[in-house]
Structures are given as structure tokens and as C-alpha cells.
Amino acid sequence: MEKSVQMGTNRTGIDMSPLQSKVMISGAAAATPTGGSEAELHELGKEYIRNAGVIGTVPLPGTLRGALKAMKDKLSGKHTEILLNKMGERLAFERSGVRVYECFIAKCEAAAAAGTLPAAVDLDLLRQFCIEEAQHFALLRDVLAGLGADPTAQTPDADVAAVASLGLMKVIQDPRTSVTQSLEAMLSIEMTDNAAWELLVRLAREMTMEAIGDQFHQAEEQEDRHLSTIRHWYEAAVREEAGLDAAPGTH
């Protein structure tokens, strides 16, 4: 059984040294800036926000094709670039998702070899999820190309999502983190992924791209399974570490 948490010589708490903690607290009070107020600091922050540009732009396809052209013709006032932005985001997320799964699988294989893999984790199923993430990437690539968009372009929300997931990827890539700790990071990734696919299905259907919406719906169903499985594994792994029985009623 793996142990993410061990009792040890953790010295981070203030109780380690009551005397020095008093010096630290008085030092922190003395170091408080006196040249400005909190309100002024907020004002400065707002000035930065007012003067900042956008984080990126969506390259609109030179020639509209297929469903995108049909939609443009049918609906005026709908912003196709939003859908392209979100598809580009999902494509980038799924591509890096494959790398994340590969990394997590390596961690689980190492744990299995050491006899510490949490009992709930199924390596074959994990490999299947990794294949599905790659398939979702390929689906988005094909759909974007079919619409006349460039699947290699990094859209603004792809950029933002990549920055947001940096910490989660670091947790999984760190060789010191346990399978259980990595499962918690995987859970965050899959929750975000799941909500994003749900939204993508609705956007595509409401923008009259029913066939694409149906394809996305199949991916969404697979993502539902990823999320419920990872969530269950995470809870089961924590319970196992705590010496508790598997949660009743979970699959």
C-alpha cells in the first residue's frame, strides 16, 4: 500500500519555535509598507487591467467550409469565432491530456512494480482513457480542418487553459508525488474537461452544427466515464491509505 502522508520531521509550523515566531510576527508588522494604502494598490491594479491588451486572437479561416459556412449563411449575429476559440482550447487540452495520462500511467506502473498501486486503480482502463484523449484530439483536429480553420493555431482560450493547468501538470510530473496525490490533480483535470465538453456540445448544437454536436456528444460520454472513474479511484485510494473500507455504493 502506498503512503502519501508520513509522520516526520516537518518544521514548517509556527509551533516549532515559539520564541522565533514572536520575532517573525513583530518583523512582519515592522515591514508593512507605509508609503501607500491598500485602496491605492487596488487602484493601481485596475489601471493595469484598463490598459492591458487581449491575450490573443482567433484566426478566422480564409475560406469558410462545411458547417461553418452553412451556419454563417443561416444565422446572422452569431459569433463563430467563439466556437472556434473553444474548439481550439479543447484540442490543446486533449493533446496535453495525452501527455498527462502517459506521465500518470508511468507513475502507476512504477507503483505497481513496487507493490504500492492503490487497489482500485486499473492500469488497462487508464491506458484506454489515454487512447480516448488522443481520439478526442483527432476528432477536434478533423472538425476544425473541415470548417476551414487551422487546427495548429493556438486560440486565446487554449493559451489561458494551458496556463491554468500548469500547476496540475507539475503535480503529476513530480516523481515524489504519490499516485493518490496525482489522482487528485487528475480529478481537477477531468472535471474541467467534462464541463468543457458539455459546453461544446451545446454550443455546436445551438449554432446549428448538429452533426458536429453529435460527434462531440460521443466524446462527452467517454469523458463522463473518465470523470466518474478517476473520482472513485481517488476516494478509494485515500480510504485505502487511511485504512478504511472501500466506500459503499461506489462503482
Residues 185-214 that bind Fe ion (CB under 5 A): 193
Q: How many CB atoms lie within 10 A of CB 251?
A: 5
Sign of CA dihedral 22, 26, 31, 34: positive
The region of 105-113, 119-127, 172-180, 224-232 touching Fe ion under the rule CB under 5 A is: 224-232
Contact 3, 178 (CB under 8 A): yes
In the bound state, the residue with its beta carbon closest to Fe ion is 226
Binding track over 37-76 against Fe ion, x by CB under 5 A? ----------------------------------------
Nearer CB in complex with Fe ion: 61/97 = 97
The region of 153-161, 176-184, 220-228, 239-247 touching Fe ion under the rule CB under 5 A is: 220-228
Coil, strand, or helix at residue 251? coil
The region of 32-40, 104-112, 160-168, 215-223 touching Fe ion under the rule CB under 5 A is: 215-223
**Min separation Cβ 101 and Fe ion, Å:** 8
**Min separation Cβ 67 and Fe ion, Å:** 25
Q: How many CB atoms lie within 10 A of CB 52?
A: 8
Judged by CB under 5 A, does residue 90 bind Fe ion? Answer: no
Q: Which of 203, 250, 244 is nearest to 83 (CA)?
A: 203
Taking CB under 5 A as the criterion, the residue among 90, 95, 107, 226 binding Fe ion is 226
Distances (CA, A) of 234 to 81, 188, 241, 248: 37, 11, 11, 14
Q: Which of 119, 126, 100, 104 is nearest to 181 (CA)?
A: 104
Contact 80, 72 (CB under 8 A): yes
Residues 120-149 that bind Fe ion (CB under 5 A): none
Nearer CB in complex with Fe ion: 220/223 = 223
Sign of CA dihedral 58, 143, 66, 78: negative
**Min separation Cβ 219 and Fe ion, Å:** 9
Nearer CB in complex with Fe ion: 188/208 = 188
Name 189's Cβ contacts closer than 8 Å, sequence gap at least 6: 97, 100, 165, 168
Residues near Fe ion, by CB under 5 A:
193, 223, 226
